[in-house]
Amino acid sequence: ASHHDVDKVAFTGSHVTGQSIIRASAGNLKRVSLELGGKSPDIVFADADLDAAVPGAAMAVFANSGQICSAGTRLFVEQSIYEEFVGRVAEFGKKLQIGNGLDPNTQIGPLVSEQQLERVQRYVRIGQEEGAELALGGSRHGTVGYFHEPTVFTGVRNDMRIAQEEIFGPVLTITPYA
C-alpha cells in the first residue's frame, strides 16, 4: 500500500487492516477503496417465496463454508414467518452433504485451516455465552480435516459479537423484525 508505483488499493477485510492501509497509502495520496466488515445481511419479507428463499438464504452463508466476504451471515426474517423460516433453514442445513470439496456431491467443504476451525468453534461458544440459541449444528464435523457443521443461531441481538464480527465459517444468525 505504501509503494509509489501502486496507484490504487482495493481491500476487503477488517477495519484494523483498513486503517493500516490508509496510513500506508497516504505518502503518495493514492486512491483507496475499502469494504470493512459489513457482515452481509440478508432480509426476508413475509411475502417471499419460501421455497426459493430458504435455500437462497442458507447457501448464502453455507456455500464456501462461509469463507467469503459476501457470505450472508446475518439473516433478518419478518416476524410473521420467523418460526417457520428458522425451521425450514434448519431442515435444509441438516440435509447438506459435508465432505471433500473435490467430490461433486459435496455441498459444504472444509475450512481453510485448523486455526480457522478453532476460530469458528470459538465464535459458536461466544454466541452461546452471550445468550444466542443453536437451532442447528454448532460442532466440528468428523475427526479428520477442518469441517464444521452448518450452524444456525436464533435469539440473536444486534449487540452480540456473532452479529457484529466476521466469523468466516458456516454460521448463520437469524433475527426477527417487525
Q: Which residues are catalytic?
A: 35, 69
Q: For residues 151 and 135, is the Cβ–Cβ distance under 8 A? A: no
Phi, psi of 148 (to 5 degrees): -130, 140
Dist CA 118 CA 84 (whole Å): 31
Which residues, listed in sequence order, are joined to residue 11 by a DSSP beta bridge?
Answer: 34
Comparing CA positions, the residue from 141, 122, 137, 121 lying closest to residue 174 is 137
Q: For residues 90 and 152, is the Cβ–Cβ distance under 8 A? A: yes
Q: For residues 54 and 82, is the Cβ–Cβ distance under 8 A? A: no
Dist CA 136 CA 149 (whole Å): 8
